[in-house]
Chains A and B, each alone.
Chain A
Amino acid sequence: MFEVPITLTNKKFAQRRKLKYQYINHTSRRFEKIVKKSTTALSLPTPENSAAENNEEDDGERNGEGGAYRRLILQQRKRRRERHWKSVVGEIYSSTETESDSQEDAEEDEECNTEGKEEDIDEERKFWKKYEKPEESFEVWRTVSSQNKSPINKQKMTYHTFKKIEKNSLRKMEVPLLHCTKESKLHFQSLSKGLEPLQPSTSEVRNYRTKHIITLTNLLHLNVSRHNWSLAYKIFATLIRIPGVQIKSIWGIGVEILNNSPNLSTSLDFLQWMCQIYSSKLRFVQSTNYRSIVPPFQTGSRTHTSKFATTYLWSSLITCQKSMELPDINDKRYDMENDLLQDLIDRISEWVLTPPFMEDAEVWFIYASCHLLKADILSRQFANDNKTSDLIGLDRDIKINQVIKHIHYVKVFLQTCSDKGGFTVPNRLIESQLKGFESRLYGEAQDLREREMDDDYNSIDDNSVNNSFRDVYETNAEFLDTQLMDLSPENNQLGEIPYSDEDSSE
């Protein structure tokens, strides 16, 4: 019923998959053979493809192709006429057809022989090779490069040709079907007729251990949905102890369970463990067939950090920030939190700055946010202490320098983040916030202005959480800015809310 955290490999499944892809490959090969004279390549009807098509028509490039197409049609007509005349003359129509078919078959066989090396390749891999597999999902829309543009295949196909292709492929499949079980034969036949067997693959598994794993997985989902956390915890703990279970596909549930049940270990421990063991910075391999789970949820690569890693970073950043917000902060507490945050910063820096370098913008953004938080802590301490005027002379200078250093880091890392691309950042907000930190350093003259900005952040914070709505953000900010300017300072002081870091609440 639910997805099982093991790879279900089975002779039966392997055979079924093989048959399926063999059939698909053969059909598409036949199809291409018929079509290839007119159009160049088979591609998905993406918007840019159709745009490319239009462009070509505009450019008047179709002369060559159109000519070829017309020639093909002429040829076909000629052949049809020939056949017609033959049937009129007396030869039996069907016999000629089978003849031509057998001829084509011979051609096909020759082709196979010439492609002898390719025959060895797994049919499934051959199929998947044709498609680009992006990491976040298995769908791709090539909107970026114009090189890959190719026109849509607009050629029509008669039902007769379609039937012919189908018949041929089915005949080709007869040999492999001879050697398989009745069950897989039925499975294949129903698939080739366009039917989808309703039975999930797990319902046929008989293996003793696998069956128990399936039972446990179902019970796990059931108890999590019932919020029965103690039972769910026990199931999870049992499940991960069974050899063969991939924790990579159920870590999310594990985190949720740890969050919801009183335990010695927290979800952060678990996520840290996941990061240590499974994060990888290697490049995404196109030739591997990832069957079920999208790669970032399993391992991650250089350009895409694994989801458990980003979850870990975000949640540890949030815990840092939360513990900072406790109402009574004495100096001791302060230092400890600083240490926690420093720990996190060290860890990210180790991660980001060792080769092969991290290419994911999100991690850089988190890195910048860490420094932002740090600058916030330091500068706030400064502002608090300023009242009692403890800090004087050299000490004060050192602390100011620290804050400025962190502010500088934030700017640098944000720059890298935007350089990497693919991750929109509320730049304007952060900048104004940084200005606020700076103003804290130099007295209370600009206190008022700072507070306004604080309110600013808090209100925006409620509106939009997701960074992808950057436009909404910015317009909102501007709008609020002008509004707040009109308000009197007393009002603002009444509405003062404990300071919160807008980044970490994302």
Chain B
Amino acid sequence: MSTFIRGPICGTDNCPSRLWRIIDGRRTCQYGHVMEGDVEFNDDEDDLNGVGAGVITRRLNLTTNATGTFQSSQLTNSQLLQQQQRRSHKKSKKLIGHDAKLLFLKSFQFILKKQIRWLIDEMRFPEKFENVVKIIWLKILKTINDQSQEGLRLQLHMTSTISILYLASTHLSLPVYTCDYIKWICNAKMPYFQASELLPKSWRIRLPNYYVSILEGSIPPFNGQFYNKIALVCGMIHFNQSFNPQISCQGLLLKLVMQYTLPPEFYFYTKQVIELEETGIQNLTLWERTDERHTGPISNHAELRVISYFMLTINWILSFDKDRQYTLEWILILIESLTRHTTTSESIDKNIVNAVYPDKPTSNDYFQWSDSETLEYLNWMEKQFLPTQTKSLHNESGSNEMTIDQKIAKRKLYKIFPLDQGTNNGSGANDSKHQLTFIEDLQERYAKQTSFLNNNKSLHSSTRKNDHLPTRKEAISRLLTQIASQILVDFAISEQQLKDCVFRIKKVCLHKMK
């Protein structure tokens, strides 16, 4: 109300003022003279916005203030006040203290349940899986319950959900590993990121912001966080006492061998090495970590040990082979096939996971993406990623965050830029014939390298004697780097951690061989 409007000279008692404002609906000049015969009935500053007095138009006329937030010209003061009140009312509903913790546990359980349902429905996990998870969850609740009321620490994070699921799948000896869970959450298939949106509205409103942000799971586990969490949960509930802690090593090995299209012998080689070192393959059990502060040596984690053995075996076999069975050409072809870009659903998934993790050698791969790969990525964005992110726009439950003006504006923008347009007709035909299945792709890759294995060796080694070929040692190290860079992303560990682990295992192995 304090803004002045320039108008005619007041003139009462030679008053020089040209500035007017409206007080109680009457035009009053700067020095307090009231303009005669001018009464404003509508005191909502209509004249400031160029809307004629008495005419109310519902037209989109949004402006922003200096900080860039919306300010609607249409909303009157009283309406704004109402909105604020409503907002503050909602804020006061947040729970605190013990109640909040209880609600958080409930919400956590809810998300866990959603994840289990997805695994059983989509990934064909056995129905028993749900029961196992329930038992583990109860055990965790029990340990939480045993703590004293004051220093109660929940120690739950979104990584705890996948840790629990991982423990359950290990108990059932399902061939599912950390890399699978990481792949599923990064592809937004399994509920993980923005999981707080899944909660019932009444819960989410009352949950304190701190817990909501935990349930958003904003950062994917990195640098072995996932392994640490698994070990910690193990230690918390003494997993090894009452459950089956053996990881199914064979499945993991098979997976690795297939992923890098190595000849099947490597599976047996690695298995032999493991049996030699670990006094039987059954001994690969999960590690129970009881020390909360220190993460301990990375090689304590069974899966990482298997990976290290795998890499060491490749290194040794290839190094001692000396062109007898595995020629230099074959190694080069193998490296080439590993870097090849395809558009199978597997490789698209891999691309997405690569894009999620920074500071990895593969994290900037998307500069080399082909058009079809980019398109696949965008399709994934549209189908999987966007629904998890923009739920609040369509869903009624999320509508409290936006004013009606903002919603109208958003809708108009989306109309200008519709998503399904132009690109669809071109890609639709492409999709049907181009999409290779995983098996086909694998067959093709194996088929490509068979000619370079032992039988045709003499022919190729004689024809391709080029000077610029790298030495065998170089080629092997390049192959290992390639494999390692993929492993780093798949299992969400840092390069240093993998190096440490391989180094330790190597030392132990050499020690035993002596």
Contact = CB atoms under 8 A, between A and B. Distances in A.
10 contacts: A205-B358, A208-B220, A209-B218, A218-B367, A230-B423, A234-B422, A276-B62, A277-B70, A280-B64, A355-B6
Contacts of B423: 230-231, 233-234
B381 A208 contact: no
Contact of A238 (B357, B382, B426): B382
Interface string A321-355: 00000000000000000000000000000100011
Given A212-B355, A212-B356, A219-B366, A264 B418 contact: yes
B366 A350 contact: no
Given A208-B218, A265-B417, A241 B64 contact: no
B138 interface: no
A299 interface: yes
A234 B359 contact: no
B375 interface: yes
A208 B356 contact: yes
A50 interface: no
A285 interface: yes
Interface stretch (A180-188, A242-250, A400-408): A242-250
Contacts of A231: 371, 374-375, 378, 423
B67 interface: yes
B22 to A, nearest CB: 14
B151 interface: no
B381 A212 contact: yes
Interface string A215-240: 11011001100001011011111101
A242 B387 CA distance: 10
A206 B225 CA distance: 13
B134 to A, nearest CB: 28
Q: Which 3 A-B pairs have the closest CB atoms?
A: A354-B50, A237-B417, A285-B66
A469 interface: no
Interface string B62-84: 11111110100000000000000
Given A231-B378, A248-B68, 14 more contacts: A211-B358, A212-B381, A223-B374, A230-B422, A238-B382, A240-B413, A241-B390, A242-B390, A254-B417, A265-B416, A276-B62, A285-B66, A288-B67, A301-B66
B222 interface: yes
Interface string A97-131: 00000000000000000000000000000000000
Contacts of A205: 358
Contacts of B193: 208-209
Contact of A350 (B50, B64, B374): B50
A240 B70 CA distance: 17
A152 to B, nearest CB: 34
B409 interface: yes
Nearest to B6: A355
B416 to A, nearest CB: 4
Contacts of A280: 63-66
Nearest to A204: B358
B386 interface: yes
Contacts of B421: 233, 237, 263-264
Contact of B359 (A203, A207, A247, A248): A203
Given A237-B419, A277-B62, A282-B65, A215 B358 contact: no
B359 A204 contact: yes
Nearest to B61: A276
A228 B371 CA distance: 9
A446 interface: no
A316 interface: no
B68 A273 contact: no
A22 interface: no
Contacts of A212: 355-356, 381, 385
A350 B220 CA distance: 50
A228 B422 CA distance: 13
Q: Which of B62, B378, B382, B409 has the most CB of A within 10 A?
A: B378
A262 interface: yes
Contacts of B220: 206, 208
Nearest to B48: A355
A468 B157 CA distance: 60
B389 interface: yes
Given A241-B386, A242-B386, A355-B5, A234 B60 contact: no
B512 to A, nearest CB: 37
B381 A298 contact: no
A281 B71 CA distance: 12
With a 10 A CB-CB cut-off, give which of B61, B222, B423 has the most chain A CB atoms. Answer: B423
Given A219-B374, A228-B371, A243 B392 contact: yes
Contacts of B374: 219, 223, 231, 235
B412 interface: yes
A276 B60 contact: yes
Interface in B388-431: 389-390, 392-393, 409, 412-419, 421-423, 426
B49 interface: yes
A228 B426 CA distance: 13
B279 to A, nearest CB: 39
A207 B66 contact: no
Given A218-B367, A278-B64, A355-B5, A270 B381 contact: no
